[in-house]
Structure 1
């Protein structure tokens, strides 16, 4: 499926369902408050520079082997309060919080592990719409948090992942049959299906839900003349 078409279509669904425009939500007509964080997917299709305000644990996810669809944890590291990094919610806007680009101290430097696990993104241990652990980086916010930013720079340590590290499997969680039936109901609109998928807090379940929504979007595209 064409990625641009998917983004445009889902963005349209977001607007139709009340998520609003893909910009920061203003408190007035003229002023945009940096602390007012949008929770809809569109804003986070692109990375944004932030200041971490709470120590946040991240897991490096990998697939155990090429034939595995289940994710496992290769490494865990804490992103310290005061760090300035760029984050987003994956290329489709509804995935987990992740880096873009990855900070140097979170990069996997072991070439044998990099080759073995070509897919190894860092995932923040936070819910999809939890924005309480960071602030958007601006001149004003940088000035406010300058002390903790300075302190965080001194505490940066490189990532160390032993070559013999044992993977920690992440238990998968299937979608309830009632949710599957709802998402496959032809009488339910695409915007309502998107809303339902987006409301699921469990990452594994949410991805499975969006797989179903994507199939319905594909089906609608084939019936739409361009």
Structure 2
């Protein structure tokens, strides 16, 4: 970098790396064999809002643009993990998405279904209850009909399993696995609760008036990134 009078410029000989350009390049890389690795690298590169702390309107568009691209990359990763039946990885990614957008209803459904596919219907039901309570508290509205229907299906399945007895319940190894999984999911649940509390506090501090309006992220199949 050189300075002359009132101007500052970068040296043409200097190696320069710009994170958001690298981020864009990773998302643009479409080779199927390495697509997941590119998405993962892009997601890890995103460390938060672009130009965080700067409130000038000129940066608002780009900040939201990159946030949307980040969420889009996360959702593509989730769908790929679901397609490969990698349920634990899908759960982790859903949590990351919801930390950024706690009221994305379609993502709560994806998380519920991932828990369901893992056989942890109790976690899926708790996720629904958590989301319903947060939604009622923040907006005084109920989840959408499709979300309620998914919850009802999971409740019926849980009841059927309870009546028939959990398969493998007498297997010590299976029991140990369930305990470890329950502990891991408990930690994840606490993480999202803390993130949602922080989000609600930020909304309250900003004096945002949101009562009576359903959040735009609900069932919107948001695809985002920053």
Does the alignment reach a TM-score above 0.5?
no
| TM-score, scaled relative to structure 2 | 0.26
Higher helix proportion (structure 1 or 2): 2
Q: Which has the higher strand share?
A: 1
Tell me: higher relative CO, structure 1 or 2? Use CA pairs within 8 A at least 6 residues apart.
2
TM-score (norm 1): 0.26
